[in-house]
Amino acid sequence: MNLVIDVGNSFVKLAVFNNDDLVEKRIIAIEAILDQIATLGAKYEIDKTIISSVGEIEKNVLDYIHRNFDVMVLSTVTKLPFLNLYKTPSTLGIDRIALVSAAVSQFPNKNALIIDAGTCITYDFITADTKYLGGAISPGIRMRYRSLNDLTANLPLLETEEPENLIGNSTNSAIHSGVVNGILREIDGLIEEYRLKYPDLTVILTGGDANFLSKQLKSSIFANSNFLLQGLNYILKFNSN
């Protein structure tokens, strides 16, 4: 079995895979990572482990993982299942690397656009012959709500909410309409632009806001909240062969 460790800025995802099957997933606070990894290590017979980290991991945690598991740490120099044509490959986020790898694994020989709706919204495109060309990065939902509050004197900070109407008839409803409809039109518009160039495009939506957005989008998409974890597992398998 494989143990996948995805360390974000505020929380950690732990996943155990038996080949391609997700056996268990835990989302935990970063402070609990050592205890949770030890628990999973005692519960399952772990063969290999992969770590993906955009957040900070304390040295004692890394030392424990290296002592107790056969570990691969994902980086921009890791062997990947696609040709990376990004002009600045050393700056490509490892979370985006994992998402593109998942697309190669689950949608082989397909032009694929992976949209990760999290703190930022990232768009990553890979061709049917596994050439990664790049994509786009824009502010996510919470970033947009917060920027309206942070960068103005009088606009309130609101919780994410599906707008009731296109036309907001109060400050709050106008903010909801602007933020949410703006993101929906952005995503639908970019998908349409990609499909003009690649008519057989496969679109995958993932990330923390995927469920909130997927039911409101006009475009046909695959929503998969575990896509990044599946990509990390595939990279681990790819490097184990």
Q: What is the pLDDT of residue 93?
A: 92
Give the residue range(s) of CATH 3.30.420.40 domains in the chain. 2-73, 83-232
Q: What is the pLDDT of residue 60?
A: 86
- Do 38 and 28 touch, CB atoms closer than 8 A? no
* SS3 of residue 148 by DSSP: helix
- Do 52 and 98 touch, CB atoms closer than 8 A? yes
Positions marked catalytic: 95
DSSP state of 220: -
Residue 68 φ then ψ, to 5°: -110, -10
70 is in an annotated binding site: no
CA-to-CA distance for 102 and 228, rounded, in angstroms?
Answer: 7
13 is in an annotated binding site: yes
- Do 162 and 212 touch, CB atoms closer than 8 A? yes
| CATH fold label, 2-73 | Nucleotidyltransferase; domain 5 (3.30.420)
Please give the structure tokens belonging to residue 134.
């790049």
Q: What is the pLDDT of residue 193?
A: 97
Q: Of how many residues is the chain composed? A: 241
CA-to-CA distance for 114 and 227, rounded, in angstroms?
Answer: 9
CA-to-CA distance for 41 and 168, rounded, in angstroms?
Answer: 52
From first to last of the 241 residues of the chain, give the pLDDT tens digit.
Answer: 999 999 987 789 999 999 999 999 999 988 889 999 999 999 999 999 999 987 778 888 889 999 999 999 999 899 999 999 999 999 999 999 999 999 999 999 999 999 999 989 999 999 999 999 999 999 999 999 999 999 999 999 999 999 999 999 999 999 999 999 999 999 999 999 999 999 999 999 999 899 999 989 988 789 998 999 999 999 999 998 7
Distances (CA, A) of 43 to 3, 22, 36, 40, 226: 12, 15, 11, 5, 21
pTM attached to this predicted model = 0.92
Please give the structure tokens belonging to residue 176.
């909801």
Q: What is the pLDDT of residue 9?
A: 72
* Single-letter residue type at 201: L
CA-to-CA distance for 226 and 209, rounded, in angstroms?
Answer: 13
CA-to-CA distance for 157 and 146, rounded, in angstroms?
Answer: 6
- Do 205 and 223 touch, CB atoms closer than 8 A? yes
135 is in an annotated binding site: no
Rg (CA), the chain: 19
12 is in an annotated binding site: yes
Count of beta carbons in the 10 Å neighbourhood of residue 196? 9
CA-to-CA distance for 130 and 108, rounded, in angstroms?
Answer: 8
| CATH fold label, 83-232 | Nucleotidyltransferase; domain 5 (3.30.420)
CA-to-CA distance for 194 and 49, rounded, in angstroms?
Answer: 35
